[in-house]
A and B are shown apart, each in its own frame.
Chain A
Amino acid sequence: MSFSILAVLKKYLMPRKGRLLLVGSLMLLALAMQLVRPLILRHILDEAISGEGMAVLQLGALLLAVVSVLGHVFGTMTRYMSDVLGWEATNELRDDVTKHVLRLDQAFHKGTRPGELIERVDVDVTRLANFFANFTRHIVINVLFLLGSIVLLWREHMWVGASYAAYSVLSIGALSYLRRLVTPYQVAERKASAQVYGFLGEQLAVTEDMQGLGAQSYMLEKLRAEFQKWLPHRIRTFVSYNTLWSSAILAHVVNISLAVGLAAMLWQRGLITLGTVFLIVHYAELLQVPIEQIRMQLQELQRAAASLRRVTELFNTKAISQQSTGHHIPEGPIRVVAEGLGFKYEDGGAVLDGVSFALPAGEVLGIIGRTGSGKTTLARLVARQYDPSFGVLALSGVPTTAATQATIRERVSFVGQEVQIFHATVRDNLTFFGTSTNDAELIGVLYDLGLGEWFAALPDGLGTMMSHGGSGLSAGEAQLLALARAFLRNPSLVVLDEASAKIDPISEKRIDTALEKLLAGRTGIIIAHRLTTLDRVDHILLLDEGKVVEYGRQQELLNSSTSRYAGLRRLGVEEVLA
């Protein structure tokens, strides 16, 4: 999706063009009322000076009141309708951005704080909402008002009209030029504030850790330091912003002086009435408003453009899944084959280096190795969270890079070590707000995995709200919940990344039994934490420093006298270097 201001306006506003037209017409009516007002004022003034009867004056005043009220009616309707349009369009945009960001890779999410994403998906988009709601309306109305006033002034005297046309162009130009000078300060300030909020977000997340370590005052001092870094930016933005205001004041002085000078000249030559003198001066005053508004809207445009740029950046960040030929993975359990598989992070050495193995469909592979051996990376490649740097990883003959992420994720379930519980019902937490699964199935899986007791204690069953952090749910139980999530999706290949690390032995045994049931007819890859969990595994892959040390059928390895795996088991070592 390529984005520009115009493209956004088109994409999100065009579907609403009927209502846009209505808003436009109401806006024109409101404008007409505004332009007529000074003419009525002149009339009142001239009549008063010439000493006409009260009736004429009364009529003028009544007309003024009616015109003003009508102007407010049209104006208010325009404003409210623009608000509605703005919110609708923005929610649509926000929905698109959310969906897009949700599809981006881990590579993107690992480098971005959730707080920062809130800024982008919410704050930036909200700014665009205001822009949608107001910009077009303001710009059009102000430009038209400006043009209308100049035409009316021109009617009074050519010189006045010409002078004001020139003044409008010059002052808008000058003010816009100044605006460009101050933008960098505003950009820097937004960056600084995003930094502060990012920090605050992190602080709010680590309270428990910091408290246990007695680091509260350290955190507060850090906060103070972050604030202090922000202050100079705030001062600079304020001053620069008000410099713009100051220049508008100067422009106003020029404006009024011009009006008074011109009117005085024409009056002294007897070319205009006293009422018209007032009219010229009054229009000049009124002109200042649209000039100021146009300037502010251009500034708003700039800010909206900055927000849009950030949003566009998000849109232009492509998930790797979007680069593929979309091959279909054959039905049934998946065969996993790696040939010379390697992976390195952009800024580092190889994490995986020339890994080869072949896991037949429907069998289970256990991967062991110490931290940094590349276990987790291998698991992530299988789930296509990353693409290999070299070599091939094929699922039932289809290289992961040839299938879309969606295809792969439909067939592959991945359970990692971290579990996030949503502030939502148990049902929504299990199905991720999905609707397709029935309750009996949900409860069945919970019991299968040994969460039955926990479930039975819930006051509202599946409808119980889970609080942030999952109250009453131990770390082990949370991991079981994640397993339940994975199996509910009926995958063909299951990847478990130390998913039972935090579960006690008794429960783990129970899960083992459940896993056996759940893995039936499926291919499994288990990154093992305890060697005991490998009892039912068909194949063993021992990794070290990104390379395969040993690979083979468990039984064959155990029977071999040279096998390192067999050696570990014989020694009774329970756990491999996590």
Chain B
Amino acid sequence: MKALRTIWALIVARPWLYALDVFLWTVIHAIPLVPPLLLRQVLDALVEDPGAEPVWYFVAAMSGYAIIRIGFILAGSVIDAVHRYHVSALLRYNVMRSVFKRPGSAAIAVPPGEALDSVRDDTEHLEDTVSWVADFFGELMFGIGAIIIMLGINARVTAIVFLPLLVIGVIFNLASLRLEKYRAASRDAASAVTGVIGETFTAVQAVQMAQAEEPVARHLKKLNQTRASYALRERKYNHLLDFSSHCTISIGIAAILLAAGHEMRLGGFTVGDFALFVAYLDYVTGIAEFYGYFVAYIQQGVVAVTRLQNLLGGTIKELTESKYWFAKAKEQKMASREKLEQLSVRDLTYLHPNSSTGIHNITFDIAASTLVVITGRMGSGKTTLLRALLGQLQPASGQVYWNDKLIADPAMALTPPLATYVRQTPLLLSGTIEENLLLGHAVESTALGKAIRLAVFNQDLDRFDHGLKTMVGVRGVKLSGGQVQRLAAARAMVHSPELLVFDDLSSALDIKTEEEMWRQLFAERQGTYLVVSHRPQVLVAADKIIVLKNGSIIDQGTYPELKERCEEFRQLLSAQESA
């Protein structure tokens, strides 16, 4: 029912367009009722009067039929293309919309390659299904029409038609559960393959340097074989279903023709009738098969819907909601600015899945216009703390307050102009530098210039031939590692956020430049900064230092205070002074 509900919701998303689609395709599928009728007439005319010349009428009528049908087909193609496009676009848009709404790290639970596979193929499956509903309706009309016409010619012979149709219906209904299971298994196996291909080609450099091409290829080969065996199992079952329905139909046709021959001897059945029956029966069996597949396809749709729902993390209603896709494109609006006076973090706890590590009961305050530095050794939870605070990880417990107001959804709220976050390994879009800086926000050129200057990106910019219009390449590959990070820092400063969060800038900026940056930022006197760093120069400048160890705060204070009383802090410092 899940699949049916989804399909229905997709149908009513654009009811009039769909109604037009159904009308056009019904005519396209039902109008082939005409040629066998014409053939029957011409054959019967020939038998009755060997001297008659009915052939020319036949040719003229057939031409008319062709012209009408072709006209409908061309119109139907346009409408179908547009409707199909809206169906899959709407699904994809909704999935991406909710992906972007979710906490960053939980946005997709599977490798991007696998998620892409789902966004591509599962939506296509539903698109096909919705489009085929229109076809199915047309075929159904044909079937009903054919049966009425045949009943009109000879009811006794026609009655036999129903038997094989009934048998096929039963067969496909019985088989549907298993079809669905096989389908799910083979889709999952296919996703695993694309997931690994994606990861492999992202890591291709490491794989090559490790000369691991052979073992990685072998791993992929194994996954491919698994996929093949699941796909073949599904195919085998489909073939068997086909086989049983074909045989049922063939035996049915033999029975019908036997009955027709019998009627013919009695004189109640003409050659024309015979030809018409043979032609219609061929069509009707085609329809029965189509029906079988169509039902199976709808049932397989459950798999597609479930996979999309997993990606979307929502109900069918949310998946098929049409208002977002059909809404007019809106200017990107930023949240309203609320001056930061104090940010308070209370009892924040997060544990990594599959691991006992994480952060425990983190509590601290950040006063306005201060620099707060988080420090600690590797794996002490610095990045985890930033991400949990910003809502990119879903904390197990704890709260974050902005000026004593609880932030209900930090992932949504802590964005520009309230806060921006520069990750340790930022990613760029494969557009121009300007696009990466603006990301669709309207920004004054002075603000843009200032951000570039503050992030010390101006020197880099001067070196590029096309300045802001320079293309950064796929995932920013045309820039060096340091340039990517400086660009990312500039990108975060464009909106002069109340709270700027940096996760370790040290691989982006040399210490002189970083000191210069802090000097300028403080001269501007506008922001509050939360930074992960080990640099003594930054630690000295900090208003407050938070020392993390094994996921807990072991001390917080100023540089002189901590140097005095915190052993871990002294160790961190001495490790750098030994030079």
Contacts and interface: CB of A to CB of B under 8 A. Distances in A.
B481 interface: yes
Nearest to A199: B430
A230 B81 CA distance: 11
A285 interface: yes
A502 B424 contact: yes
A502 B100 contact: no
Contact of A242 (B77, B111, B264, B481): B77
A575 B505 CA distance: 13
Interface string B266-300: 00000100110011001000000000000000000
A432 interface: yes
Nearest to B42: A260
A256 to B, nearest CB: 6
Interface in B62-97: 62-63, 65-66, 69-70, 73-74, 76-78, 80-82, 84-85, 89, 92-93, 96-97
B378 to A, nearest CB: 4
A60 B265 CA distance: 15
A245 interface: yes
Nearest to B422: A212
Interface extent on B, as a size class? Answer: 35 or more
Main secondary structure, interface of B, reads helix
Contacts of B211: 406, 409-410, 489
A221 B329 contact: yes
Contacts, number: 509
Contacts of A114: 113, 197-198, 201-202
Contact of A212 (B43, B208, B380, B420): B420
B170 interface: no
Given A253-B65, A432-B207, A532-B578, A212 B377 contact: no
B46 A414 contact: no
Interface in A95-120: 95, 98-99, 101-103, 106, 109-115, 117-118
A223 B475 CA distance: 17
Interface stretch (A81-89, A139-147, A161-169): A81-89
Closest 5 CB pairs of A and B: A218-B440, A432-B212, A420-B203, A214-B415, A208-B104
10 contacts: A60-B258, A102-B200, A112-B201, A216-B101, A224-B93, A257-B59, A405-B208, A465-B354, A468-B112, A471-B352
A409 B209 CA distance: 6
B473 A110 contact: yes
B104 A207 contact: yes
Contact of A574 (B108, B257, B482, B579): B579
Interface string B44-57: 00110011001100
A215 B440 contact: yes
A450 B120 CA distance: 42
A95 to B, nearest CB: 5
A14 interface: no
Given A223-B92, A578-B510, 19 more contacts: A45-B271, A76-B243, A83-B236, A98-B197, A98-B200, A113-B430, A203-B99, A206-B427, A212-B422, A213-B421, A213-B492, A246-B74, A277-B43, A278-B275, A423-B195, A433-B212, A433-B219, A482-B206, A504-B375
Interface stretch (A63-71, A395-403, A551-559): A63-71
B357 interface: yes
A412 B430 CA distance: 32
B266 to A, nearest CB: 10
Given A213-B416, A281-B39, A505 B575 contact: yes
Contact of B93 (A223, A422, A502, A573): A223
A217 B534 contact: no
A256 B35 contact: yes
A222 B258 CA distance: 64
Contacts of B483: 371-372
Contacts of B220: 95, 98
Interface string B474-503: 110100111100001001100000000100
B400 interface: no
A94 B196 CA distance: 14
Contact of A485 (B63, B206, B236): B206
Contacts of A227: 85, 89, 92-93
B365 interface: no
Interface in A249-278: 249-250, 252-253, 256-257, 260-261, 264, 267-268, 274, 277-278
Interface in B181-216: 193-216
A79 B578 contact: no
Nearest to A224: B329
A110 to B, nearest CB: 5
B173 interface: no
Given A249-B66, A498-B507, A508-B575, A112 B474 contact: yes
B219 A428 contact: yes
A422 B428 CA distance: 21
A464 interface: yes
A329 to B, nearest CB: 14
A278 B510 contact: no
Contact of A211 (B96, B110, B415, B571): B415
Interface stretch (B150-158, B225-233, B517-525): B225-233
B381 to A, nearest CB: 8
A200 B85 contact: no
Given A118-B194, A474-B378, A574-B579, A504 B209 contact: no
A537 interface: no
B112 to A, nearest CB: 4
Contact of B579 (A72, A87, A531): A531
A103 B63 contact: no
A57 to B, nearest CB: 4
B99 A507 contact: no
Interface in A216-251: 216-224, 227, 230-231, 234-235, 237-239, 241-243, 245-246, 249-250
B254 A65 contact: yes
A469 B423 CA distance: 14
B371 to A, nearest CB: 19
Nearest to B246: A72
Interface string B94-138: 001101111111011011110111011000000000000000000
Interface stretch (A291-299, A301-309, A454-462): A454-462
Contacts of B145: none
A205 interface: yes
B510 A217 contact: no
Contact of A102 (B62, B216, B420): B216
Contacts of B260: 48
B206 A253 contact: no
A95 B77 CA distance: 38
Nearest to A406: B211
Contacts of A419: 206
A102 B208 contact: yes
Given A209-B426, A417-B481, A216 B206 contact: no
A58 B258 CA distance: 6
A216 to B, nearest CB: 4
Contacts of B89: 227
Contacts of B217: 95, 98-99, 102
B255 interface: yes
A422 B271 contact: no
Contact of B112 (A54, A201, A245, A485): A201
Nearest to A235: B81
Contact of A109 (B96, B204, B247): B204
B392 interface: yes
A467 B354 contact: yes
Interface centre among A256, A428, A480 (most CB of B within 10 A): A256
Nearest to B99: A207
A501 B70 CA distance: 67
Contacts of A203: 96, 99
B228 A477 contact: no
A211 B392 contact: yes
Interface in B437-456: 439-441
A65 B250 contact: yes
Interface centre among B47, B258, B332, B508 (most CB of A within 10 A): B258
